Amino acid sequence: MRPELGKEYPEADEEQITLAIIAAIRRNLERIYKSGHINRQFHAKMHACIKGTFTVDPSLPADYQAGTFIAGKKYDCWARLSNGNSRVQDDRKADVRGFAMKLVGVDGPQMVNDISMPGSHDLLLVSYPTLMAATLKDFRKSIDAICNGLSGLVLFSINPTNWAILARILVSMKKHTNLFAIPYWSVSPYRFGADGKAIKYKLVPTTQNLVQPLQKSPGFLQETIVADIAKQDITFDLMVQFQEDAVRDSIEDPTKEWKSPFHKIGKLVLPQQQFVPQATQQFGDNLTYSPWHCSEAHRPMGSVNKARQAVYDAISKFRVEHNLTAK
């Protein structure tokens, strides 16, 4: 049967697989951080947490408006830039980079309200357009491998049935010189309005004359952020991509890159400033981001996104509670 536009097709045993993922991540965090502060399982190294503004295009056509994105609306925003690895490591290594946006002061009831910052709309974006696993079951296999250390990764990599996943992981990990110069994708799909439309997001850099470091230190990505924002505003366009073909633009398979065109819906501005990363380090570390911090109009779609709701919530609570008692 051919899939339908805007329709989800749940996997079998989603709840059991999700609980297994939560258990694996929690065991791994307890193993890595036997005492003291616990970092995020992924995107552990934060380069910056910067306050900016997001403005919906004042001339946005009606077909591209829904929920948060009403023409001319303006929001304060917290942007968190990070490396994707589960450990804090050298910026010169290949990695997936993260750009998480938290729009503040969004109207209406939320799917999951951010307790620390109610009325938020979070957009979780990364520097590669697809995920490594096509199904929730495969996603669990890759999480298990990561959480079981070197032996888990070795066993995972020598199994031919995992080679496609491994190949996608390796392709997604790249060396970057400036995090303000690269695009970021939502990877997974979201609802757009009440009429069943499905979209993906993309954040496109628009700032010119950015720093290109010649000598790179282990923390050079943060250094370039500080240097760039000291001399000018940093800007990005937020784009949406509508599902046009239910097979080609799959909702359930996040390894498939959609081919439909992108449409600009708004602009992010991180204002020029003498940015001191340490000033917002603790604040940014304590922020909780989730794709489910949004209204029904922008509800996350697909099995992987449903699992993310439970995983993000459980691990965030565990991490925050542990860090409060560990002080």
Q: 194: helix, coil or strand?
A: coil
Residue 12, domain member (yes or no): no
pLDDT over 70 at 40, yes or no: no
- In whole numbers, what is the pLDDT of the chain averaged over residues? 91
206, pLDDT greater than 90: yes
The phi, psi pair for 312, rounded to 5°, reads -60, -45
Whether the predicted pLDDT of 301 surpasses 80: yes
Give per-residue burial for 32-44: e unless 16+ CB within 10 Å, then b: eeeeeebbbbbbb
Residue 255 domain boundaries: 42-303
Residue 309 lies in a domain: no
DSSP 2: P
9 lies in some domain: no
On the question of pLDDT at 224 being above 90, the answer is yes
In the predicted structure, residue 45 carries a pLDDT above the cut 80: yes
Helices and strands (DSSP H and E) totals, the chain: 7, 9
Predicted confidence (pLDDT) per residue in 269-278, tens digit: 999 999 999 9
Q: What is the mean pLDDT of residues 155-168?
A: 89
pLDDT of res. 34: 67
Judged by DSSP in three states, 285 sits in helix
How many domains, the chain?
1
Alpha carbon of residue 147 to chain centroid: 20
In a domain, 22, yes or no: no
Element (DSSP H or E) covering residue 316: helix 303-326
- Looking up residue 89, the CATH number of its domain turns out to be 2.40.180.10
Nearest to 256 by CA among 132, 96, 165, 130: 130
CA distance 130 to 323: 32
Domain assignment of residue 327, yes or no: no
In a domain, 15, yes or no: no
36 in any annotated domain:
no
- What pLDDT, on a 0 to 100 scale, did the predictor assign at position 327? 58
Res. 66 pLDDT band, cuts 50 70 90: very high
Per DSSP, the three-state class of 199 is strand
Asked if residue 242 has pLDDT above 70, the reply is yes
d(CA 138, CA 253) in angstroms, rounded, equals 11
Instruction: Give the ranges where 136-187 is alpha helix by DSSP (H).
Output: 136-147, 149-157, 163-172
- Judge residue 270's burial from the number of C-beta atoms within 10 Å of its C-beta, 0-12 exposed, 13-18 middle, 19 or more buried: buried
Q: Sorting pLDDT into bands at 50, 70 and 90, what band is 322?
A: low
pLDDT exceeds cutoff 70 at 192: yes
Is 80 exceeded by the pLDDT of residue 65? yes
Residue 158 lies in a domain: yes
